[in-house]
Structure 1
Amino acid sequence: MKTKKTKRTRSEPSTRKEPRIGLALGSGGAKGISQVGVIQVLQEHNIPIHAIAGVSAGAIVGAYLAIHGSIDGFEDALHRISKHELLKLIDFSKPNRALFAGKKVERYLATLLGDHDFDNLTIPLWIVATDMLEGKEVWLKTGSVNQAIRASISLPGIFPPHAYNNTLYLDGGLINPTPVSTIKAMGADIVIAIDHTMRTATPISKPNLFTTLARSYEIIRTEMTKLKIGQDPYTILIRIQKNNLFDTYRFYKNEFIEEGIKEGQAHIEAIKQAIAAWQQRHTKTLRQRKKKLKNKNTS
């Protein structure tokens, strides 16, 4: 006769000795590549990643990490495409739809990442997008990873809404620019969040189309992040605010990744302290629970 398994409620502590560490990779256009530098630092210090939530640029970086289990090779893969080849990814859209069609970007993603489904990844990954028809946040976690990324990077005005799963998707950064809530829903005990939203104003003398779109998007993302991220001792927020969404010059000079390494190193002790604090609290909770059960059984 089979015994019925009892489910552990959220209030009951797990018997795990190590915390489940989640990575929340925010949106940020070209500067999202700085996330690679942060992850490199985490790897150097043997900080394991058990789950990943990504949005827009963070979805691309997160997908590579989820597929390979390591960020090694990502930087080289990016720089195999020259500035001239990068320009070839531009495919202008039909009038009144968006600036770019995005079909060439889809093909590039397939070259960079290959063809993977969510159920065969090395590390669990959820990707954030915005359902344009329902006007709500969606967590994509089944089916094609590349299709989910394409949905998550559909920045209004830049790319047209992406048709997938019988709906239309826009950039996930419109609703959840730094997906802390997503990674917590995946069961993360410790959250390492990389945020690219604007904290200080940058002077713009003569705004053009791209700077206007970029600044508008920055304002939306910044205000949404303020609403989404709360105070939590087990959430380490790494803010990388320099540069703008479309700054390919700094991309090719590796300035983004260098900035990520710098910020990763600046936060590594805080990450280790959060892990140690979780372990200490968790061990204490387990001891208290065992003592309570022992007293109950002897009474």
Structure 2
Amino acid sequence: MKIGLALGGGGARGLAHIGVIKVLEEEGIKIDYIAGTSMGAIIGAMYAQNPNAEGVIKRLKLFLQSTDYDALGVKYFFPKREKTLSFIQFLYKGLRERFSIELSPRRKGLIKRERLDYALSFLIDEGDIENTIIPFAAVSTDLSRGKTVAFRKGDIRKAVRISASIPGIIPPELESGMALVDGGVTEPVPVYAVKEMGADFVVAVDVSVTQLDNFVNPSIIDIIARTETVRGIYLSGELVKHADFVFHPDLKDAHWSEFLRYEEFIQEGIDEGKGKVNELKKQLRKCRSFWRRLWRNRC
């Protein structure tokens, strides 16, 4: 029986993924496939290349403590208020408040993709997806056809960058008639993608918001932003119904941009993992027993 791990998007909240993975590793639960969306693709690629949770955590911390992270300017775009704003809505609001930008009809994004490429070069080793130790897929969305596209071969950094390319912020990748952007548009938790890889048992890690703050006297922007947030929560919830087991770290209304809370988010993933791992092991035993009986009947 093959176990697949579906890692959802969520910006900084996605740091909880490696906490959950650390517990699975310590409990001897072998992962056969990994699919990731956006931040889930970043964590998934790192672990698929080097299946050592402590090593991944160390590398993440080095990056988040470095001038390379500071150069991204994330903290300057996003004040800590209005946490319910979605990834995209908050960025637009931050840009609007701080900069005077004339958006040309020909412009495809506000941030050059090279900035994300540079960050990924710190976190992910150069190479092709098909050469990872654990089979891996980075999930993106094709805006031309309105469909999910899962990368299972080719340049791993490029695939992850596309998976994390926020529409309108980072230019889409235009190739073969496709316009590829962040996989969170269609599959914020890539349950279907990891099933297509061959997983018999899917473990999903959903890092969507678990608690919305009070919605008092909202502005137009607040209403639009909350609508986007609720849409994302609902879509993630519908997707994980098709997983066999779900971890959902209690990150409350933590904003996607709060990367410097990495210790807290990683620990929340560890706590969620420890709290549910025995239940997962029980389900795995039942499923393995079923597969053994099925195999004997076929022989």
* TMscore range, shorter length: 0.7 to 0.9
Q: Are positions 1:72 and 2:81 aligned together?
A: no
2:296 to 277, 287, 291: 287
Q: Does the C-alpha gap of structure 1 residues 212 and 43 become closer, same or farther in structure 2, counting only changes over 3 Å? A: farther
Of 189-198 and 138-147, more deviation after overlay is shown by 189-198
Question: How far apart in 1 are the matches of 2:224 and 2:273?
Answer: 29
1:241 CA drift (Å): 4.5
Aligned pairs for 1:14-163 (under 5 A) are 19-81=1-63, 82=65, 84-90=67-73, 95-96=102-103, 97-163=108-174
Task: State the one-letter code of the partner of 1:263.
Answer: E
1:204 CA drift (Å): 6.0
SS of the residue aligned with 2:54? coil
CA contact (8 A) 1:174 1:220 kept: no
Q: Deviations over 1:224-250 (max 9, x none)?
A: 223333356xx1111124112111241
1:118 CA drift (Å): 1.4
**Greater share of residues in helix:** 2
CA contact (8 A) 1:197 1:218 kept: no
In structure 1, the residue matched to 2:249 is: 240
Task: State the one-letter code of the partner of 1:276.
Answer: R
1:212 CA drift (Å): 8.2
Q: Does the C-alpha gap of structure 1 residues 133 and 61 become closer, same or farther in structure 2, counting only changes over 3 Å? A: same
SS of the residue aligned with 1:88? helix
CA contact (8 A) 1:198 1:219 kept: no
CA contact (8 A) 2:23 2:274 kept: yes
Q: Deviations over 1:151-178 (max 9, x none)?
A: 1111224323233555321110110111
CA contact (8 A) 2:240 2:246 kept: no
SS of the residue aligned with 2:53? coil
Q: Does the C-alpha gap of structure 1 residues 229 and 100 become closer, same or farther in structure 2, counting only changes over 3 Å? A: same
In structure 2, the residue matched to 1:258 is: 267
Question: How far apart in 2 are the matches of 1:64 and 1:209?
Answer: 39
Q: Are positions 1:220 and 2:231 aligned together?
A: yes
Structure number with larger C-alpha Rg: 1
Task: State the one-letter code of the partner of 1:61.
Answer: I
- Provide the aligned length of Structure 1 versus Structure 2: 268
In structure 1, the residue matched to 2:198 is: 187
CA contact (8 A) 1:119 1:142 kept: yes
SS of the residue aligned with 1:72? helix
Question: How far apart in 1 are the matches of 2:175 and 2:14?
Answer: 24
Q: Which runs of 5+ in 1 are unaligned?
A: 1-18, 291-299
1:211 CA drift (Å): 8.2
Q: Which runs of 5+ in 2 are unaligned?
A: 75-94
Question: How far apart in 1 are the matches of 2:221 and 2:288?
Answer: 47
In structure 2, the residue matched to 1:6 is: none
Task: State the one-letter code of the partner of 1:203.
Answer: N
SS of the residue aligned with 1:54? strand
Q: Deviations over 1:229-286 (max 9, x none)?
A: 3356xx11111241121112412xx001000000010110121112100121122223
1:61 CA drift (Å): 0.4
Q: Does the C-alpha gap of structure 1 residues 85 and 265 become closer, same or farther in structure 2, counting only changes over 3 Å? A: same
Q: CA RMSD in A?
A: 2.8
Q: Are positions 1:202 and 2:185 aligned together?
A: no
Q: Deviations over 1:29-73 (max 9, x none)?
A: 111011010011011111111100100000000001111122231
CA contact (8 A) 2:144 2:177 kept: no
CA contact (8 A) 1:65 1:71 kept: yes
